[in-house]
Amino acid sequence: MLLPLAGGLGTRHLHERLLLMSAPFLDDLPRFVFFTGKGGVGKTSLACATAVALAEQGRRVLLTSTDPASNVGQVFGVSVGNRITPVPDVPGLSALEIDPEQAAEAYRERIIGPVRGLLPEPEIASMTEQLSGSCTTEIASFNEFTGLLGDTEDTRGFDHVVFDTAPTGHTIRLLQLPGEWTEFLDRGKGDASCLGPMAGLERQRTEYARAVEVLGDPALTRLVLVARAQPSSLAEVARTSAELADVGMREPHLVINALMPETGSGDRLATALREREQRALAELPGPLAGLSRTEIGLLPVDTMGVDALRLLLANPAETSLGAPSVRTSAEPAAATDDASLPDLVDAIEADGNTGLIMCMGKGGVGKTTIAAAIAVALAARGHRVHLTTTDPAAHLTRALPEAVEGLETSRIDPEQAVADYRGRIMATQGKGLDDAGRAVLQEDLRSPCTEEIAVFQQFSKAVAASRRHYVVMDTAPTGHTLLLMDATGSYHRQMARQMGAAAHYTTPLMRLQDPAQTKVVIVTLPETTPVLEATDLQDDLRRADIEPWAWVVNHSLFAAAPTDPLLTARAAAETGPVGTVYDQARRVAIVPALADEPVGAAALLALSTSSIVDLQEIP
């Protein structure tokens, strides 16, 4: 049996008392609260825990997820969608998940519905096509988002609106959009062909301006930056703080989540994890050093359900409460080498010396590390390999800081992609235009939707290159990647209509659907929430006729065989989630939690060439 925390902290009275000393970011909360940070750092758990704490103090709270891969409903064990839904176990708390597809469908209907039956069917079909791409999905999602920042019928009854946001890159994009669209409309929109009819945007002008005002007022909005005590995570929230300051969101609060306490167990892995985290905190990036800071300790249980959420905010990292008192009947897990990353590399190589390997999954699960390890292993076997990323917050150079023979690395940078796209369009379509025509075209290219088109084109080039050599792609966190998949599907449908049934053509989507060309590797952690999200991702891919090739369960404590009581408790809890993976996947590789991060070519090569047992001995 597990005793989650010493002292019986499950009671509501003690829970409320402990909040006062352990979670200063809750002090004097304004009406709107945003949680953001790198994927996998615990934004959803902290947002849910905050919403529960506020509701149990008698506040009326709306918990909203802007993450296209939201799992708020899973945390509470209720079905939550694109409609405000009360949480039965927490009086005063309601939840909402902004579903991009539902939002896009409602947006299309608001524009097309009034003219359906008034215009000829071909014109209705043309409008529908113009509003079927990722641009419309993005517009519709942030329309839902900005609507929640106003005094609307949906939000009027709530004292607080708590936002659980998508991983950082997508969130920055979302929070920049109200200002970008306001400026775009104020300047004059050109013909904005990628948007379809503009009436929907024109009607939102006042709402966007209100959103910009609310986001920039600390009396109305609090930004909570969530991080793990890891250099990449801390560096990302430092960048996030600076970028969101540019859209007026200042005075953020910093939360360091899931810190390993000093347990005194002598376990090598526990000691290494704690030393690594304390070193990262000692080297905190300058922009974060002066921020108000809350440190929260690692729990021995997943934060699923209201009881676990209460414990989260009552678990300060450096007090007597920070080292959970754990009893468990579980013996230290035995390491196994019957499923490993080298097996996947062998299978990839056996299929030839070209192809696309896409590492996909929730943010923070280690996609970059797994992608880099596969790429380094293939290059070491003499293959030509291109390692790239679609993640706006990518860290390829940190995982692989040195050059490797036979391995080329790149990043699909949204800003550079947009600059290249604009330059190309002006040099071609704008070549024969007069000054007035070029000015209109330039204005059209300032549309925020241009980024989606430009990034898709760069992605398509990387997919096409996999016909000549291996391309290993580290993708953005799930929600952002699904929007990219939506753009891929829209382009495929457009090409199919234009080319006709008799024509021969190959679109990027067709390459992704071809198992001889593309291997999708879903990366997850051995925890309930990441596995549920990975299962949802697999379902989404299958709906697009893309069959995942393999799953990688990363950072497994069970495979690492710890002796520390806290880590042993967490290792024992992996049995259920990992069993779910084996039920879902055709191929599975288990990668153990390591005392030292696999950074650099040598460590990555060891990760992709050694058995699990051997990895435990790597210094």
Q: Residues with catalytic annotation?
A: 40, 42-45, 67, 529
Q: In 3D, which of 566, 588, 579, 587 has the Cα closest to residue 271?
A: 566
N- to C-terminal Cα separation, the chain: 34
Q: In 3D, which of 98, 234, 116 has the Cα closest to residue 165?
A: 98
Output the 3-class SS for 42-63.
CHHHHHHHHHHHHHHCCCCEEE
**b/e sequence 404-420, b meaning 16+ C-beta within 10 Å:** bebbbbebbbbeebbee
> Is the dihedral angle over the CA atoms 71, 76, 80, 83 positive or is it negative?
negative
Q: DSSP states of 179-221 as a string?
A: HHHHHHHHH--TT-GGG---HHHHHTHHHHHHHHHHHT-TTTE
Question: If DSSP codes are grouped into helix, strand and coil, which group holds residue 175?
Answer: helix
Backbone dihedral region of 352: left (phi > 0), alpha (psi from -120 to 50 degrees) or beta? left
| E strands present in 121-194 | 160-164
* 529/471 Cα distance (integer angstroms): 29
Question: If DSSP codes are grouped into helix, strand and coil, which group holds residue 474?
Answer: strand
* 428/438 Cα distance (integer angstroms): 11
| CB contact at 8 A, 71 and 533 | yes
Pairing mode of beta strands 407-409, 221-227 = unpaired
* 100/491 Cα distance (integer angstroms): 18
Please give the biggest Cα pair distance in the chain. 79
Element counts in the chain: helices (H) and strands (E): 27, 15
